[in-house]
Amino acid sequence: MRVKEFLDLPFDYFSEDKAKWLYVISSSLFVMLFIFIYEPFGVFDFDRVDGFAFFLVLLEGVKIFITLLATQLFLRKRVLKNKVWSLKNHLLYFMGEVLLLQIFTLLIYKCIEVFYDFSPFDYQRSFIEYAWIFFDVYISKTLVMIYPFGGTILYIYVSRLKVAKKELEEELLAMQDDYDRWGGHDNMIEVLDENGNVNLLLPLEHIISLESQNQYVLVNYIGSEGLEKKLVRTQLKKILSELEEYPVLQCHRSYAVNLLNTASLKVMEKKNYLLIKNYETMRVPVSKTYLAQIREMLMMSVVKSQVN
């Protein structure tokens, strides 16, 4: 996958309020912890444990909390307007959040200067020097903030995987029950003709495939002498309706196959075919109309066999 295609992928990890709150709180706590541990820019010094140092650390966390609270729970709704953003859009939005945080910091410092007669600014510096400092601090904050941003995404992704895994396990259990029921030797199938007469009686697992031939259906099955065939005067649609509770699925306009006897799905000469167990020279065509359903059912049967 190219970088552009990756960045254009839909991004919905912060679509729920729970995820937004997780991002806001985790970012605030992470940055405060980061300052305590790594002491960037000399903000905190263990030899100088006084109220002002703790105040700066707490102030940084509060700034992040207020900024992200505004951008995620209020501003985000106005900007998105119920649209699904791409990953690229959200990365740009994230960089905008850090920029707002930086501007908010300058406003707070200005308020401190006005009300407490204390200036964190060095007015001896030129505008270019201040611009460079602003840019340097912005990059530093972006690099720090990317950790809780990515961590929140990872947490949500893993949580969704757990939910999907649980749903898949429930589906597999249901499929396993069906396959256990289908695979029993007492499942004798009656193949009826158009008048309702029994033309063929055989175990379910002996049926290989059904092929429509005008007013007849050719039944391929495993008999006493190996692979055998029998023509039954009926319609393919009628037989499939009689076998709808079994894993005999239509895979082509003129073909149906018993999934219990399929070995694999292969592409040959740009066409899809099902290969039959123990008779791999036998091919059953699969049309595009039924391809997705056949793939899904085959995947279920493979996973079920691995579980067993």
Per-residue pLDDT for 185 more than 60? Answer: no
pTM of the model: 0.55
Structural contact between residues 230 and 221, judged by C-beta atoms closer than 8 angstroms: yes
- Band (pLDDT 50/70/90 cuts) for residue 44 is very low
Q: What percent of the chain has pLDDT over 70?
A: 81
Q: Are 279 and 227 in contact (CB under 8 A)?
A: yes
What are the tens digits of pLDDT across the range 270-282? 899 999 988 878 8
Contact 210, 256 (CB under 8 A): yes
The predicted pLDDT at position 307 comes to 44
Annotate 259-289 with b (16+ C-beta within 10 A) or e (fewer). bbbbeebeeeeeebbbbbeebeebbbbbeee
Least confident of 93-97, 124-128, 303-307: 303-307
